[in-house]
Amino acid sequence: MPVWVYDVLNVFMESVRDGSGAALARNATWRFYNQELEHIRPLAATSTETAAIFSATFSPLTPRLAEKISAHDALRAQLVKAATDAYRDALASDAIHKAVDDARRRFLEKVPGAIPTGSFAAEKHVDLVIERLINEIDELPSHNTDAEFWRAHARSSALSAFHPCRWSSGHGPSFSHPTRQYLNGLEDFSYDLCQQYDIPAAPSSSVGY
């Protein structure tokens, strides 16, 4: 029975914490290069090798768990689609390409030799900018290669005009509320298992939000 706590429940709880935390921070961690959410992962695919062995009996132990996982993953799929649709719409606009090109030219005039796209090709700068807009990034950590560029131009009227409002409006609370409820249920179940089978408490590495 300890395997349920160590290799199943804690794995799921950690994934839910990561996803809910990202949503609360209003950063969906959507990436243009694979059109996926980096830190909001599908729970159905979140398991260790040991957990996979026991997955066949996981749902019978908790009859409502499979339903909760499906609901979580369906909401995640909606977020992916909304972000990807917003990205494709923005990318089809000639105006945002011009806005990014102008901002990039002005930036490089001030900071010659800078590479604001990092490992991405220069022509992918517009993709990266749209990604930042979708994730509602106000300021980037200094170690990001585009941090200085973003600090200088993120709030410019030329770029902010392309803010994907239909994606950003309220997505954080709408995602984090059910995942927090789900997380509370997992933690209660984990506690019950520890009590029932005299298992030492094994909290996951992140506590709270």
The C-alpha torsion from 113 through 114 and 120 to 125, rounded to 10°, is -110
For the chain, list the strands marked E by DSSP: 30-31, 36-37
Question: What pLDDT shows up at residue 177?
Answer: 57
Q: How far apart are CA 175 and CA 159, in angstroms?
A: 26
Q: How far apart are CA 163 and CA 147, in angstroms?
A: 18
**Residue type (1 letter), 139:** E
Query: Which residues, 6+ apart, have CB-to-CB distance to 10 below 8 Å?
Result: 190, 202, 203, 204
Domain residue spans of the chain? 94-161
Question: What pLDDT shows up at residue 163?
Answer: 66
Q: What is the DSSP letter of 199?
A: P
37, β-bridge pairs: 30
**The two three-digit tokens of residue 9, written as one number:** 């429940």
Question: What pLDDT shows up at residue 148?
Answer: 95
User: Per-residue confidence of the chain (209 residues) as pLDDT tens digits?
Assistant: 566 666 666 776 777 777 766 665 667 788 999 999 888 778 777 655 545 555 555 555 566 666 767 777 887 888 888 888 889 988 998 999 999 999 999 999 999 999 999 999 999 999 999 999 888 888 899 999 999 999 999 888 778 777 665 444 445 445 555 566 666 766 776 677 677 767 665 554 443 43
Question: What pLDDT shows up at residue 56?
Answer: 56
